[in-house]
Amino acid sequence: MKKIIPALLAMVLVLVFMLPAFGQEDIVELKDPAFTAPKRPAAVFKHDEHNELAQIDDCTPCHHEDVDEEGQFIEGDPDYKCADCHTVEKGNGTPLQLAYHKMCIDCHTEKKAGPVACGQCHVK
Amino acid sequence: MFNEIYELVTGPLAWIGWGIFLLGSVYKLASLWSLAKKKDTSSIYYTKAKFGLRSIAQWSLPFGTLGWRETPSVTVVTFVFHICLILVPIFLSAHVILWEEWFGVSIPALPNHVADVMTLLVIAGGTFFAWRRFSVPEVAFVTSGHDWFVLGVVVAPFLTGFLAYHQIFNYEVMIVLHVITGIAWLALIPFTRLSHMLVSWYSRAYIGSEFQGVRHCKDW
Ligand code: HEM
């Protein structure tokens, strides 16, 4: 009994520390659960590797909370999901699918680097 | 490298293609009209909307005419082929996304698997027409190189689009070929046999008017 309790405690501790570690698993593709009936394969996107390769040091433009009058993104909290603010259905503001496409494709077009055609991101 | 090529074919080349299609179509219709006015005024005189529309409606029905009843296989393939041929490029979901993102127009989209089947029907229809041009003597007899060229131009964007969508062979190569063949498809409409898309309405209306209005009999 004396040995089981610390062992159990240790297991609980391990689990408590492991869970967020599972949660923080590196992003390697984007498959937003907001799209309940996805029509395309997930989009490849290795979060950290991408930003290193593309030499993006800021978390904006991607993580923002709004755009200012000049159309510049205002820094936002990365813990929010795109879908927290952009809805799948068209309402006011940029709908979710367009938000993703604009964010990703506009920069690739401008930089003349990175995927721009459907199948380069939505790889089967 | 790919980004530059993709930008070129979806940008300037696409605009040129649309320009040739639209201006070429206007030119084609205007030049045929002025030719008809010069050489064949009586055909214009006899063409009446009522007879014309009646005839076009009748010929738009599968098996609605004696002509359509003669070779049922050709009739079925012709209708399926043309319906898919027009609907797929407009309502394909990938194209609908581009209509929206590039031009801000939202239109409904075909489900992917439906568009996929319709694409295969166009390719199958094209294959059927090619087989006829080879194997049916009376068709082979009137077939020229131009017919083969046109058949190839029409089917090419469907074939390359299908291969790109399914990511068969090299995707980057296929999508560029697809856009180029798609633009060629549009741009060649006014200058090839494909111009039947523009002028066959008038031919039908004229024939319908001559039969109904002059000979007092049906043309179907
Ligand atoms: C009349 C001309 C065209 C026809 C008939 C055509 C037809 C098609 C077809 C059949 C597909 C595949 C659909 C499937 O199998 O589910 C496709 C996909 C596609 N087409 Fe076109 N197309 C045309 C022109 C264009 C042009 C001019 C562009 C671009 C400017 C374009 C961009 C695309 C894209 C991006 C895809 C998606 C490929 C993918 O999913 O990876 N198409 N098209």
pLDDT of A21 reads 47
**Tally of CA atoms within 13 A in the half-sphere of A45 that contains its CB:** 18
Question: What fold, for B12-213?
Answer: Fumarate Reductase Cytochrome B subunit (1.20.950)
Residue A96, token pair as written in the block: 């979710």
Number of domains chain A is built from = 1
- Tell me the pLDDT band of A8, cut-offs 50, 70 and 90: low
Q: How far apart are CA B60 and CA B55, in angstroms?
A: 9
Write down the pTM of the prediction. 0.90
Task: Answer whether B171 sits within 8 Å of A98, measured CB to CB.
Answer: no
- pLDDT value of residue B41: 85
Residues with Cβ within 8 Å of residue B42, at least 6 apart in sequence: none
Distance CA A51, CA A48 (A): 5
Identify the pLDDT of residue B115.
98
Which positions ≥6 away from B139 have C-beta within 8 Å? B132, B133
Taking an 8 Å cut-off on Cβ atoms, the answer to whether A98 and B166 are in contact is no
pLDDT along chain B (220 residues), means of 10: 96 97 96 88 82 88 88 93 97 97 94 97 97 95 94 98 97 98 96 90 85 84
Contact flag A117-B166 (C-beta cutoff 8 Å): no
ipTM: 0.84
- Give the tens place of pLDDT for each residue, B132-159: 999 999 999 999 999 999 999 999 999 9
For chain A, give the percent of residues with pLDDT over 70. Answer: 81
Place of tokens 């009058």: A69
Residue contact A119–B112, C-beta within 8 A? no
Interface probe, candidates A44, A111, A120, chain B, greatest B C-beta count within 10 A = A120
Backbone φ and ψ for B142, nearest 5 degrees, come out as -100, 10
- The rounded Cα B118 to chain-centroid distance in angstroms is 15
Model confidence at A15, pLDDT cuts 50, 70, 90, reads low
Peptide bond into A6 cis (omega under 30): no
Chain B CB contacts of A98 below 8 Å: 100-101
Indicate which of A116, A121, A122, A123 best probes the interface with B, i.e. most B CBs within 10 Å of its own CB: A116
Which residues of B lie inside 8 Å of A (Cβ-Cβ)?
3-4, 6-7, 93-94, 97, 100-101, 112, 164-167, 171-172, 175
Residue-range definition of the domain harbouring residue A66: 24-121
Residue A51 is assigned to a structural domain of this protein: yes
> CATH number for the domain including A53?
3.90.10.10
Is residue A47, in this structure, part of any structural domain at all?
Answer: yes
pLDDT at B36: 85
Look at ligand 1, atom 39, and give the residue with the nearest C-alpha: B165
Residue A6 forms part of a structural domain:
no
State the pLDDT at residue A20.
Answer: 47
CB B21 within 8 A of CB B187: yes
Closest residue by Cα to atom 17, ligand 1, is B161
Cα B77 to ligand 1 centroid, rounded to whole Å: 22
